[in-house]
Amino acid sequence: MSAVTTSEKTVDRPLPPRAPYILETRDLVRHFAADGSLFGDKAVVRAVDGVTLGVRRGETLSIVGESGCGKSTLARLLVRLIKPTSGGILYQGRDISALSEREMRALRRDLQFVFQDPFSSLNPRMTVGAIIEEPMRVHRIGTRAERRRRVRELLARVGLRPEFADRYPHEFSGGQRQRIGIARALASGPTVLIGDEPVSALDVSIQAQVINLLEDLKEEFDLTLILIAHDLAVIRHMSDRVAVMYLGEIVELADTDALYDRPHHPYTQALMRAIPVPSPHARDMVAELTGDVPSPLAPPSGCRFHTRCPHATELCAQKKPHLEASGDNRFVACHHWRSVADSAAGLSEEPARPANAAHRLALYRAWTKKQGQNPATQSPTDQAPTVPSEE
């Protein structure tokens, strides 16, 4: 067990044993033709640019980074919603990177996706029951009666009334729609669930409810969970490991507690400092991450972060650092990680920053439990989408 200490309480989180990888990527690359490329211009967006990563069976791995760093593209590659430009994707040891759509169809049952936007990810013309049943129908799971029974079970399991199956998505609030999306993702009995910013479109109090739900479902359905997030605060308490992405590359990959306690990459440190803290000293904690992310059309030479890095030297502009093992089950891509890691000591000594983020979530968890809120007891019309905080 690992103990995550917040200023309020200690949350015990069992660490999974070092399970084998269920999903792996090998030097994975996905480039897109740049918008407005003219006359056969070869301009390419290097959305994912050489990612090698292993996801352990049963773990929760979060992928974080600023907008545009390639998180969603990597997520889509992992479940082969899109094809890589080059590199490998291995599911249970089998290379799925070049499989045709037809060959992928059977695997889609195992690899499911929860989208960021519950408002647009559900077909408005289908009933909730039909939406959740669809994956079972596509994969020919069960008889019609069995599928309908399963729809009602799944609705109850995600905290909604079984009779909601006959309603339409527009009748539900954002949090409820995300629960419907999760029920649909579970319908085919997946092994891996990828959530692409599954809570970022939701009101902050509802975020905690959906996060709690995902955590519970992960245990119950024996899932491997991959979460995409731009907010380090949201994913701390539920991730076993965190991968930090910058401009199409992974710059640090570590066990969650180690990453938050002593980030080794200057970019991870900057993201930590950018976690907003509701405190009178908040002005001291203004994000130190200055400048925009450079364009993935023309990433900087050498280390891609060197143009924004307070530790950058001449070497960083010239030579690309590769992801190297730094000891504590961690990988980091920085020429100067040893001295940078030492400079992180100040971060962990200031509990107000990362600890408060976890503390906030702990409070939300306590709050949702105290309210005894069970959306299954509320009708959809009680929950107008415009007042999601009442969910």
Ligand X SMILES: Nc1ncnc2c1ncn2[C@@H]1O[C@H](COP(=O)(O)OP(=O)(O)OP(=O)(O)O)[C@@H](O)[C@H]1O
Residues 243-302 that bind ligand X (CB under 6 A): 296
d(CA 344, CA 333): 16
Residue 142 region, left (φ>0) first, then alpha (ψ -120 to 50), else beta?
Answer: left
Residue 188 makes contact with ligand X by CB under 6 A = no
Determine the 3-state secondary structure of 386 from DSSP.
coil
Largest Cα–Cα separation, the chain: 67
CA distances (Å), origin 59, targets 62, 185, 211, 225, 333: 10, 18, 15, 6, 23
Residue closer to ligand X (CB basis): 58 or 296: 296
- Per the CB < 8 A criterion, the answer to whether 74 and 28 are in contact is yes
- CB of residue 168 to ligand X, shortest distance in Å: 28
Binding mask 62-101 for ligand X (x = CB under 6 A): ---x-xxxxxxx----------------------------
- Other Cβ atoms less than 10 A from the Cβ of 168: the count is 17
Binding mask 119-158 for ligand X (x = CB under 6 A): ----------------------------------------
Residue 31 makes contact with ligand X by CB under 6 A = no
- CB of residue 152 to ligand X, shortest distance in Å: 34
- CB of residue 87 to ligand X, shortest distance in Å: 15
Residue 370 in tokens: 């105290």
- Other Cβ atoms less than 10 A from the Cβ of 329: the count is 12
- CB of residue 33 to ligand X, shortest distance in Å: 7
Rounded to the nearest 5 degrees, what angle is found at the Cα of 202, between the Cα atoms of 3 and 9? 20
Residue closer to ligand X (CB basis): 230 or 336: 230
- CB of residue 230 to ligand X, shortest distance in Å: 5
What is the rounded (10 degree) CA torsion for 216, 222, 226, 232? 30
Contacts with ligand X by CB under 6 A: the residue count is 13
Residue 32 makes contact with ligand X by CB under 6 A = yes
- The gap from C-alpha 336 to its chain's centroid, in whole angstroms, comes to 28
Candidates 13, 80, 230, 359; binder of ligand X (CB under 6 A) is 230
Residue closer to ligand X (CB basis): 135 or 296: 296
Bridge-partner residues for 63, per DSSP?
Answer: 228, 243
Q: Please count the CA atoms within 13 angstroms of the CA of 150 that sit on its side-chain side.
A: 22
- CB of residue 367 to ligand X, shortest distance in Å: 27
- CB of residue 74 to ligand X, shortest distance in Å: 7
Interacting residues with ligand X (CB under 6 A): 32, 45, 47, 65, 67-73, 230, 296
